[in-house]
Amino acid sequence: MAAPLLHTVVPPQGSVPSSPEPYYLPSGAEVSIFAHCHALELAVMLKGPTGCGKTRFVEHMAWKLKRPLITISCHDDLSASDLIGRFLIRHDGTAWQDGPLTRAVREGAICYLDEVVEARQDTMVVLHSLTDHRRSLPIDKTGESLVAAPGFLLVISYNPGYQRMLKDLKPSTRQRFVALDFDFPPASREAAIIERESGTDHGTAMALVSLGQRLRALRDRGLAEVPSTRLLIAAAALVVSGIPIRQACLSAVVSPLSDDEALVSAMRDLVDATF
């Protein structure tokens, strides 16, 4: 069975003195609402399209709240054992190994389950007792019931653009979270993010934002995934490193988005019209 993709992104401040603040440009009250949820021990759901800043936001908040961050990228093979842990067979017997969720519960970390609806339903169920007054994680295999350490916060994200996923996230699960809505930022903010992340100049950033907005309008013509801020940053980074802008847009924005000839051709036309 596939193990969860896992990494600890932000170490607790204090134990590692100089982790730099992850750059995040807010677009509303999300920073303050998240901080309140953390203080009130309310689980949080981040809703929004891919590449619009949800992960960066959680990294930023973990830094701000001085909590370790454990990120789990969900996939359809993710089992409850992948999250909770399992007995490993060793030469001298068996040893219990905590999964990432258990570690987060013990450490009082922020546990971020990215694209949570990819995970199987039976996996989601293990989260329930962590999202109410119990704040506990039952570990059937060891007979333990762990109460979450202070500072623990469960955060999930999902992309409501996929209809299938909307159906998959059960109302009984949804109602356990405070939801924060994310979307692509307004033009001037998105340009500021592109400039900051890629090192490009303001004019190029604005032109890429304008292209992004035109391409996003193709959603109505069947473009399933529209260009994210992440893709625009990639195009800008290519430009900064010396690739001509039209080529950068074709390689970093147009081609990753679709294999459909008609759509690719429509997107190329928009690139030509922009640059």
Among 8, 13, 19, 50, binds ligand ADP (CB under 6 A): 50
By C-beta, is 10 or 146 nearer to ligand ADP? 10
Strands 153-158 and 110-114: parallel
Q: State the Cα–Cα distance between residues 106 and 251, nearest whole angstrom.
A: 44
Stretch that binds ligand ADP, among 49-57, 95-103, 146-154, 202-210 (CB under 6 A): 49-57
CB nearer to ligand ADP: pick between 80 and 180: 180
Helix H or strand E segment including 2: none
The reply to whether 233 sits near ligand ADP by the rule CB under 6 A is yes
47 binds ligand ADP (CB under 6 A): no
Task: Compute the half-sphere exposure of residue 86: CA atoms within 13 Å on the CB side of its CA.
Answer: 11
Residue in 5, 9, 25, 187 binding ligand ADP, rule: CB under 6 A: 25
Q: Is 123 in the site for ligand ADP (CB under 6 A)?
A: no
Sheet (strand 69-73) strand order: 5-8, 69-73, 110-114, 153-158, 44-47, 178-181
Query: DSSP of 171-234, one letter per residue?
Result: HHHHTTSEEEE--PPPHHHHHHHHHHHH---HHHHHHHHHHHHHHHGGGGGT-SSPPPHHHHHH
Structure token digits, residue 189:
């903010």
The smaller minimum CB distance to ligand ADP, of residues 118 and 197, is found at 197
If the CB atoms of residues 123 and 229 are measured against ligand ADP, the closer one turns out to be 229
Longest CA–CA span in the chain (Å) reads: 68
What one-letter code names the amino acid at 93?
G
HSE value, Cβ hemisphere, 13 Å, CA-based, for 169: 23
Select the residue interacting with ligand ADP from 12, 51, 99, 212 (CB under 6 A). 51
Per rule CB under 6 A, is residue 212 in the interface with ligand ADP? no
Closer residue to ligand ADP in complex, CB, 137/253: 253
Q: Does 24 bind ligand ADP (CB under 6 A)?
A: yes
Choice between 73 and 258, CB closer to ligand ADP: 73
Does position 193 bind ligand ADP by CB under 6 A?
yes
Residues that bind ligand ADP (CB under 6 A): 23-25, 48, 50-56, 185, 193, 197, 229-230, 233
